[in-house]
């Protein structure tokens, strides 16, 4: 199944760590109807440059710091000990909770 959404979170840090080539490689494999979002607390020129390579007709949304969490958004954190338990924990949460939409941020 093809991805419908590609999210590049912490785009500035990802570029700073030298992953520009990998981002480009991934962008070349995305289908034309894939929704792409690049998120960054700061917007250095490198982020804008990379965004131009894989986004079509980009829309830039700037958010004030006090508006970072949207009304009605519920945030949760789950600390999982051990790599081998992460997938099982995620599957358990999906079965237990009534989640219609979610964004997962995973520590690497």
pLDDT digits (tens, 9 = 90+) for 6-31: 888 888 888 788 888 888 888 888 88
99 inside domain: no
**Which residues constitute the domain of residue 30?**
5-54
94 inside domain: no
Span 41-66, mean pLDDT? Answer: 72
73 inside domain: no
35 inside domain: yes
Q: Which residues pair with 7 in a beta bridge?
A: 37
33 inside domain: yes
Assess contact for 39 and 11: CB atoms under 8 A: yes
Threshold 0.75, pTM exceeds: no
Residue 68 has a pLDDT of 63
Residues 6+ apart with CB under 8 A from 10: 39, 40, 41
pLDDT in tens, 64-84: 766 666 677 778 888 888 888
Number of domains in the chain: 1
Residue 1, pLDDT > 60, answer: no
């Amino acid at each position: 199944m093809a991805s419908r959404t590609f999210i590049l979170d912490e785009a500035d840090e990802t570029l700073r760590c030298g992953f520009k080539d990998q981002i480009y490689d991934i962008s070349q494999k995305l289908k034309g109807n894939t929704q792409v979002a690049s998120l960054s607390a700061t917007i250095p020129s490198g982020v804008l440059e990379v965004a131009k390579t894989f986004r079509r007709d980009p829309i830039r949304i700037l958010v004030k710091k006090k508006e970072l969490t949207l009304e009605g958004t519920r945030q949760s954190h789950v600390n999982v000990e051990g790599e081998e338990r992460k997938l099982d924990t995620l599957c358990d949460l999906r079965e237990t909770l009534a989640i219609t939409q979610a964004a997962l941020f995973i520590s690497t």
